[in-house]
Amino acid sequence: MIRLRLGAVSYLNTKPLVFGLEAQRDLYSLRFDVPSQCAALLHQGHVDLGLIPSVEYLRGDYAMVPGVSIGSHGAIASVAVFSRVPIDQVRTLALDTSSRTSVALTKILCAKRWKIAPTLVPAGPDINAMLSKADAALLIGDPALELDAKAHGLTKTDLGSEWHALTGLPFVYAMWAGRLGIAGAEHCTGLQEARDRGVANVVSIAKATGRGDAAREDRALRYLRDNLKYGFGAEEVAGLLQFHLWAVELKIAPQLKPLRFFE
């Protein structure tokens, strides 16, 4: 059994998926990066399995680990557009360059739900800098989760909620993917078991995240327990297929690929 190089996302939402993997050094080595870098490392062959943004599946010849993803069935809390004007009045939109799937999702929602065509401005995840050159900003991950929109006088539009309102389907943000044949049954089982351990231990994960800050701990627990979903069943597959169809239609991604899973 070969030892797989795993590339995971460095956000809170990943912690339940990698729970205990550091101890399985015979099966995996593990590194953490922002989502866009996870995808780049996989495309370049520097990792064997990457927890990649779901749009990046269309940019390679990959299979996925069955049963495991990062998704939401409605509000996600950590992927949102923060705006100074109503969403249908946004004319300039700064996009967090840490993301690829969330950028694609934003473009789809602009076209299909909000019916707007704003000027898009790439930016780092700094809300003040972003809003200095745009009237709305896409943030993802921990920065989006922790930003108090009301305190900044902003409206928060949750992209998980908007996708569900548009389609009635879950949204898949990321999944384990790698080149065909790289992951065996033991690797896949290990990643599924890590997910199960992590979901069973969200209280301890939230406590460690809070580091003595009760409000931060509570926010982390509600996010991990109530917003995030870590399965990959028929509904998630349907949501991912719809996302891929629109991404190709809007020329965000090059072409459709069949959804393949490791055995």
- Over residues 77-132, the pLDDT tens digits come to 999 999 999 999 999 999 988 878 999 999 999 999 999 999 999 999 999 999 99
Which of 15, 58, 33, 65 has its CA nearest to residue 184? 65
pLDDT at site 100 = 87
pLDDT at site 126 = 93
Q: What are phi and psi of 98, to 5 degrees?
A: -70, -15
Q: What are phi and psi of 60, to 5 degrees?
A: -150, 180
- Is a pLDDT exceeding 80 seen at residue 1? no
Q: Answer yes or no: are the C-beta atoms of 157 and 85 closer than 8 Å.
A: no
In whole angstroms, how large is the CA radius of gyration of the chain? Answer: 18
Which of 95, 70, 93, 96 has its CA nearest to residue 83? 93
Domain ranges in the chain with CATH number 3.40.190.10? 4-72+170-217+228-249, 79-167
**Residue 131 to residue 127: CA distance in whole angstroms:** 6
Lowest-confidence segment of 16-30, 161-175, 185-199 by average pLDDT: 16-30
Distances (CA, A) of 239 to 91, 147, 243: 28, 27, 6
pLDDT tens readout for residues 221-247: 999 999 999 999 999 999 999 999 999
**Residue 64 to residue 50: CA distance in whole angstroms:** 10
We find that the CATH architecture of domain 79-167 is 3-Layer(aba) Sandwich (3.40)
Q: Answer yes or no: are the C-beta atoms of 232 and 66 closer than 8 Å.
A: yes
CATH topology of domain 4-72+170-217+228-249: D-Maltodextrin-Binding Protein; domain 2 (3.40.190)
Residue corresponding to tokens 């200095």: 132
Round to the nearest angstrom and report the end-to-end CA distance of the chain.
15
Which of 51, 57, 97 has its CA nearest to residue 70? 51
Per cent of the chain over pLDDT 70 is 100
